[in-house]
Amino acid sequence: MGLKTLRKALYLPALTAMRFNPSLKKFAEKLRERGKKFKQIICAIMRKLVHIIFGVLKYDVPKFRAEG
């Protein structure tokens, strides 16, 4: 579901964020412990990245905290 171009644009950034961003790495580990599949975890991280991007753009804040 969703925009194909947006999913395509966020797939590799989500993989990178899951690997190198400590808070998103922890988030992915929580999802894995709950029994989520790899694609579900990537989609959840992609969604979280969209929320982070929206927050940075809306509030004009250069830094973010991805807790959750």
Per-residue pLDDT tens digits of the chain, which is 68 residues long: 778 998 899 999 999 999 999 999 999 999 999 999 999 999 999 999 999 888 888 888 776 665 65
The ranges assigned to domains in the chain are 4-59
Q: What is the pLDDT of residue 55?
A: 86
Alpha-carbon span 11 to 18, nearest angstrom: 11
Long-range CB contacts (< 8 A, 24+ apart) of 13-19? 13/46, 13/49, 14/42, 14/45, 14/46, 14/49, 15/42, 17/45, 17/49, 18/42, 18/45
**Cα separation of 39 and 44, whole Å?**
9
Ramachandran area for residue 35 (φ above 0: left; ψ -120 to 50: alpha; else beta): left
pTM higher than 0.85 = no
